[in-house]
Amino acid sequence: MAQITYYANFGEIPFGDITKKETRRWIPDAFDVLCGGFPCQPFSIAGVTKKNSMGRMHGFEDEKQGNLFFYIAEIIERHRPKAIFLENVKNLLSHNRGNTFKIIKEILTNLGYSFHYRILDGKYFVPQHRERVFMVGFDSEVFHYGEEFSFPDMPVKDLKVKDILMEDVDTKYTLSDQLWRYLQEYANKHKANGNGFGFGIADLEGITRTMSARYYKDGSEILIAQKYRNPRRLTPRECALLQGYPDEFIIPVSDTQAYRQFGNSVVVPLIEAIGKCIVNAIKRNFE
C-alpha cells in the first residue's frame, strides 16, 4: 500500500522487500547516498513491552523485523555509497542495555564508515513531539574521516496543533460512545495502578504526543476535543500535515492504510534538513 502512495506522488514504484534476492538485483551498482529506516517496533518501548507480554523475541532476535538492518549492511558493503543515513526510535540507544546500538555502530565502522548520531525531536519542525535517533556515516575510502558534517541546528518556531487542523471534519472521525467510554475506563484503570497509560487530548495551543502506526485503531494518543461531542481522531490529511507533508500530497489509500503509513513516517522537514547537511558535506569534499 505504501508503494501505491509513493507512485501517486512521485510516479515511481519502490522495488519492494530488500530481503528478497530478486529485489536486491534491481539496486543500482553505484549511488551516492543510502537512506534507511529499518522497522522500529522490535526496539521501541511499546514494541518491546508488547512482545515481552506475548513471549515473543524483540530487537535483533525478532527474525521478521529485527534483522532487516543486516540486509542494509549487506547493501552498504556491496555498493559502497558515499554516505549512509539511517533512522530509528530513540529506544534503540538503550535497547538490550545498549548492546543493540553498539552492534550497529561496530558493523558500520567495520565496513569503513565514520559514524555520527544524534537524537533529534520533530517538534522543531511540526507540532508533534517525535524523538528519533539519526545515524549518518561517510565512506572512509572517499572522505578519509575528514568530512565536514554536523547535524542541523533546530529552528525556533511557535508551532501549534490548531494550525494543522481542518475546519469542517466529517463526523465519522468522532469517537463512538462505546469507544470513548472504553478509553476513559482504560485510562482510569491504569491511573489507579500508578501507570501513565491512557488517551491524550491534544493541547491546541501546543504540540501533540508522538503519533504511532497503531493510530488507526482508536486514535487514543492524539484526540481533538469538540464542543458537545465526544473527541475525534485526526483526519488522514491532518496526520499528513502533522508529519510535515505538503498540502498537495496525494493520499490515494483508505483511512486505515493512511493512518498506518503516516504513523510509520518520518517528520519530512527534519529529514530534509539533515539531508541537506549530508549533501553539503559530500559537495565540499569534491570542491
Whether the model clears a pTM of 0.95, i.e. scores above it, the answer is no
In DSSP terms, 76 is beta-bridged to: none
Which pLDDT score is estimated for 125?
Answer: 98
- What is the widest separation between alpha-carbon atoms in the chain? 64
Which pLDDT score is estimated for 44?
Answer: 46
Q: Which residues are catalytic?
A: 40
Q: What is the mean pLDDT of each run of 10 residues along the chain (287 residues)?
A: 95 90 90 86 47 41 61 94 96 89 94 98 98 98 96 94 96 97 89 75 97 93 96 98 98 97 96 98 90
Q: Check if the beta carbon of residue 121 is closer than 8 Å to that of residue 130.
A: yes
Which pLDDT score is estimated for 191?
Answer: 75
Residue 211 vs residues 63, 84, 129, 278: alpha-carbon distances, Å: 25, 26, 9, 27
Which pLDDT score is estimated for 56?
Answer: 43
Helices 99-110 and 68-79 meet at what angle, rounded to 10? 10
Domains defined for the chain, CATH in brackets? 10-154+266-285 (3.40.50.150), 161-263 (3.90.120.10)
Which H/E stretch holds residue 51? helix 45-53
Which pLDDT score is estimated for 42?
Answer: 53
98 Ramachandran zone, left/alpha/beta (phi>0; psi -120 to 50): left
Residue 238 CA to residue 263 CA, distance in Å, equals 12
> 96: which DSSP letter?
G
Query: What are residue 120's phi and psi, to 5 degrees?
Result: -125, 150
Residue listed under C-alpha cell 487542523: 165
Contacts for 49 with CB less than 8 Å, ≥ 6 apart: none
Contacts for 116 with CB less than 8 Å, ≥ 6 apart: 135, 136, 137, 149, 150, 151
